[in-house]
Structure 1
Amino acid sequence: MKPIIEYESYRAYMQDFYDQRKRCSAFSWREFSRLAGFSSPIYLKLVCEGKSNLSQIGVERVAVAMGLAGYELVYFRSLVAFDQAKKDADKKRAYEGMMEIANAHKVRVLDSVAFAFYESWRNSVLRELAANMPGAKPSDLAHLCYQKISAEDVKDTLAFLVKAGLLKKTGENSYEQSEKSVRASGEAMPVAVRAMHRQMAEFAMKAVDEIPPTERNITGVTLGLTGRAYQRIVTELDSFRRKIIAIATEDDGMDQVYRLNLQLFPLTRNKREVVR
């Protein structure tokens, strides 16, 4: 499903949300309406078909049902206002609000530089750190990283990020991000991200012993799942990940750079593989 900032119709976004959930579970219009607090089982279907509109209260209920937060929630409100406005001036105002949010939170899709970017944890960490510490020397940035890195490594990494268009140099030791977030293209993603996942999994293991519990949250649960339940959980994790990104980018600046690993993997083979 596309990021919400790529939509210009809230009805299309709701329909895509429904279709995605439907593909992975027994999700229905009745369930969608129930989650949003509507008594009519087909009300949201009618909204998506353009046969009914959302009230202001309805907008908030639907947003909660779809797990929207931060700038995604604000953008969804503007989408509805743009679609349902009766005056051109109101439409223009809503559309300008949409564009402002979209431009501030646009996503850079990595393709040719994906392998180099995901080759080392340094790229994603320093992209966040440098942009939020204008004037900080490479040695200062190196000192802040829990993982060992030299000032020279920091210089090389920043040079790469600037060359790749992921950071813009605005002054002496000052940078800003070209876009709020980045992702690899569908073709590059599987291979390019594996190395990053391995590194971050190792860092998570170290964090159990080296980072105070007040600064980290590491939990887990062991589950017995059917294939259908697995697909539903994957859909929820994807929705949760987008919500976390929205919350994180809602505030300007940052205090620390964190990594959130969402891990769901089998501990056994499928029981159907057992030869009887």
Structure 2
Amino acid sequence: MNFNQEKKATCKQVLLDSLINFKKDSTNLLTTDQYEYYQKWYYAVIHDILSFYKFYGDYSRLAQLVEPSITAREAQKAVKLLEKLGFVKRRCDGGYDCRFSGISAYAEGRELVLSSYAEKMMESAKYALGNLSSEERVISWAGFSVSGEVFQKIKEETRAFRKKIISMAQSDQNPDRAFHMNIQIFPVSRPDVPQESRGEK
């Protein structure tokens, strides 16, 4: 069974589920719960909301804070999953503390899971473009041509920018809204390879 040889998403989905069940005792394995965390876009959103919202069990209100809104049942399911994973902990007074724990994924399964999650977040960006005002979002784009060497430098700059944004968010003492940031840089052409490199004469 070779995960990397499967090209179709549907085949990868079935194969990933098999990997989860087959090696579920491995310490570095993507567990079923962790896999489920990335299956619903609002699980991570609820996690972010609980970092600032004083939640005491009102799932209807919690669901309304999500953009776009989800159902109270979906919000409850998200909280239960986050609590099971250790991402949030219920206090004795009924409130919740948000904990930030990394998710350890099985090496061959991580790419598929995160790619699927990225697709869902791009769909959320489309929603924001059509439903949120320009004061509530930042959406911009640019086209350019660069060498492979410069592209690697651009990737390094985007990583540094992402870290800076996260640092700003973590230092905010009074957050009141959850946000998500997508960064996509991808080629829209094939490289101009010299003819001799392609075996042409």
3-state SS of 2:90 partner: strand
Unaligned runs of 5+ in 2: 1-27
- Alpha-carbon distance, 1:273 to partner: 8.3
- With the length of structure 2 as denominator, give the TM-score of the two structures: 0.74
**Please, which of 254, 258, 261 is the counterpart of residue 179 of structure 2?**
258
1:240 maps to 2:185 = no
Between structure 1 and structure 2, the one with the greater Rg is 1
Between 220-229 and 128-137, the greater mean CA deviation after superposition: 128-137
Q: CA RMSD in A?
A: 2.4
Which of 21, 32, 43 is the aligned partner of 1:123? 43
Structure 2 residue 200 is the aligned partner of structure 1 residue 271: no
Distance 1:269 1:263 in 2: 17
**Letter matched to residue 127 of structure 1:** H
Q: Which amino acid aligns with 2:73?
A: E
Number of aligned pairs?
167
| Match for residue 200 of structure 1 among 121, 137, 147 | 121
The 5 A counterparts of 1:35-184 are 111-112=30-31, 113-136=33-56, 137-171=58-92, 174-179=95-100, 182=102, 184=104
CA distance in 2, matches of 1:192, 1:209: 27
The question of whether the paired residues in 1 share the 8 Å contact of 2:53 and 2:176 is answered with no
- Structure 1 Cα separation of the partners of residues 123 and 181 of structure 2: 13
Residues 10-25 of structure 1: matches in 2 within 5 Å?
none
Partners of 1:203 and 1:191 lie apart in 2 by 19
Report deviation, 1:161.
0.5
The residue number in structure 2 matching 1:54 is: none
Work out whether residues 170 and 176 of structure 1, in 8 Å CA contact, stay in contact via their aligned partners in 2. yes
Aligned partner of 1:226 among 137, 142, 147: 147
Give the direction of change, closer, same or farther, for the CA distance of 1:133–1:173 in structure 2 (3 Å limit).
farther
The letter for the 2-side match of 1:126 is I
Runs of 4+ that moved beyond 3 A? 181-186, 273-276
Richer in helix (by share): 1
1:48 aligns with none
Q: How far apart are residue 190 of structure 1 and its match? A: 1.4
Aligned partner of 2:171: which letter?
E
> What are the ranges of 5 or more consecutive residues in structure 1 without an aligned counterpart?
1-108
How far did residue 134 of structure 1 move?
1.7
